[in-house]
A and B are shown apart, each in its own frame.
Chain A
Amino acid sequence: GQNIDQPTEMTATEGAIVQINCTYQTSGFNGLFWYQQHAGEAPTFLSYNVLDGLEEKGRFSSFLSRSKGYSYLLLKELQMKDSASYLCASSYSGAGSYQLTFGKGTKLSVIP
Chain B
Amino acid sequence: NAGVTQTPKFRILKIGQSMTLQCTQDMNHNYMYWYRQDPGMGLKLIYYSVGAGITDKGEVPNGYNVSRSTTEDFPLRLELAAPSQTSVYFCASRAAGTSSSAPQYFGPGTRLTVL
Contacts and interface: CB of A to CB of B under 8 A. Distances in A.
Interface in B1-20: none
Contacts, number: 57
Nearest to B97: A98
Given A42-B106, A42-B109, A31 B101 contact: yes
Contacts of A75: none
Nearest to B56: A97
Interface string B81-115: 00000000010001000001111111111000000
Interface of A: 1, 4, 8, 30-31, 33, 41-45, 48, 50, 87, 89, 91, 93, 96-100, 102-105
Interface of B: 31, 33, 40-45, 48-50, 56, 58-59, 90, 94, 100-109
